[in-house]
């Protein structure tokens, strides 16, 4: 096809099946889909959607597409082009690591190599290669994929289905959707809109969503950081103190031990959100224990918080060793003052 354009109120759709072949150049189409082992060459053209699936092949050059979508074990070679809205990739029964994936001009990128993709039994992942491509958005679908890790990235959308499991660190996404029994552990991340269905779960740590929709038996567990400082009677740091945090029902939600400066960071369950509403788990009882010494304070961990706990009956060992020297210095100072007063009286 060469020089094809939309007519008024028309929408051109091209679908390739089996071992069919199509070359499109200098054209504008609505939707192009390639299935089975078909081959599509798309050059100097525009399309709303280009979708490659199964074992199909795509060679795209000097093109503008609104959405490019890769599924199955399809192969897509894209060069000197622009993806106006989103590059979408669907992976099934895989493991992968996605890091520093953000909108911009991509000099060279391959999904299987750059994301360390490992396919499980019966799994699939499209082999998408970009060379000098402007990508304005990234979207991924993970079905039955475990050990998916997302770092320091920005996404248009993320979808997790079936038994997918993923961990996300410092990411932003416009939309995140979980279905069936999928689970995502999100840390230091934010989402514009999140949707949960079935029995899916999000375990969120220091993470936020502007809009939340929850259906069925799905749940979001909201956690925040609690930094605890343990000190003795004189305000000195107490290292190696055990710190526990209990929810209002008495269940332990966090356990840790202070470092050399008397601090420990704990991840505390703040609330549980389901289809019927949000259920706070505070106020929280925070207990610090060192040997036989213990004290408790109450903190409502509804955001990142700090707390100080004083073991008022305890003095760390270094201080008693210094006490005689301090007392001797004080006694010497008193004696000097007295001698000074006596000297003045004689004169």
Residue 11 is predicted with a pLDDT of 73
Residue 12 is predicted with a pLDDT of 84
Residue ranges in the chain modelled with pLDDT below 70: 1-10, 318-347
Burial class from Cβ neighbours inside 10 Å (0-12, 13-18, 19+) for residue 251 reads: exposed
Residue 1 is predicted with a pLDDT of 54
Query: What are the structural domain ranges in the chain?
Result: 13-221, 224-310
DSSP run (H or E) holding 112: helix 111-114
Reported as a single tens digit per residue, the pLDDT across 39-86 is 999 999 999 999 999 999 999 999 999 999 999 999 999 999 999 999
Using the CB atoms, write b or e for 285-302: b if 16+ within 10 Å.
bbbbbbeebebeeebebb
- The CATH classification of domain 224-310, taken from the options 3.40.50.300, 3.90.1640.10, 2.60.40.10, 3.40.50.970: 2.60.40.10
Neighbours of 344 (CB within 10 A): 8
Residue 327 is predicted with a pLDDT of 53
What's the token pair of residue 225?
């950081």
| Whole-number Cα distances in Å, 7 to 12, 24, 70 | 9, 17, 28
Residue 331 is predicted with a pLDDT of 56
DSSP 6: P
Reported as a single tens digit per residue, the pLDDT across 108-130 is 999 999 999 999 999 999 999 99
Residue 316 is predicted with a pLDDT of 86
Contacts 24+ apart (CB under 8 A), 120-123: 120/93, 120/94, 120/95, 120/144, 120/146, 121/93, 122/92, 122/93, 123/91, 123/92, 123/93, 123/94
């Amino acid at each position: 096809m060469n020089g094809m354009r939309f007519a008024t109120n028309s929408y051109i759709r091209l679908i390739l099946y089996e071992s069919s072949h199509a070359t499109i150049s200098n054209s504008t189409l609505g939707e192009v889909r390639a299935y089975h082992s078909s081959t599509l060459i798309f050059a100097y053209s525009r399309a709303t959607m280009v979708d490659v699936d199964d074992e199909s092949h795509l060679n795209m050059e000097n093109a503008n597409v609104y959405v490019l979508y890769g599924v199955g074990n399809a192969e897509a070679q894209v060069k000197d082009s622009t993806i106006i809205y989103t590059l979408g990739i669907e992976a099934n029964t895989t493991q992968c690591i996605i890091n520093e994936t953000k909108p911009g001009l991509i000099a060279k990128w391959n999904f299987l190599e750059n994301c360390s993709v490992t396919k499980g039994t019966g799994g699939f992942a499209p082999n998408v290669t970009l060379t000098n491509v402007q990508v304005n958005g990234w979207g991924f679908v993970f079905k039955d994929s475990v050990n998916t890790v997302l770092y320091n990235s920005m996404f248009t959308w993320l979808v997790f289905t079936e038994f997918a499991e993923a961990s996300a660190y410092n990411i932003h996404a416009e939309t995140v959707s979980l279905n069936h029994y999928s689970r995502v552990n999100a840390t230091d991340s934010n989402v514009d809109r999140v949707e949960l269905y079935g029995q899916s779960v999000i375990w969120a740590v220091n993470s936020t969503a502007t809009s939340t929709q929850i259906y069925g038996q799905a749940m979001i567990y909201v956690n925040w950081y609690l930094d605890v400082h343990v000190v003795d009677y004189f305000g000195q740091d107490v290292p190696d103190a055990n710190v526990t945090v209990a929810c209002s029902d008495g269940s332990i939600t966090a356990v840790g031990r202070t470092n050399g400066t008397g601090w420990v960071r704990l991840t505390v369950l703040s609330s549980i959100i389901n289809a019927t509403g949000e259920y706070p788990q505070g106020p929280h009882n925070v207990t610090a224990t060192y040997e036989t010494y213990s004290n408790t304070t109450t903190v409502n961990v509804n955001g990142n918080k700090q707390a100080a706990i004083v073991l008022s009956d305890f003095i760390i060992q270094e201080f008693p060793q210094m006490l005689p020297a301090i007392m001797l210095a004080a006694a010497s100072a008193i004696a000097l003052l007295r001698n000074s007063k006596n000297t003045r009286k004689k004169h």
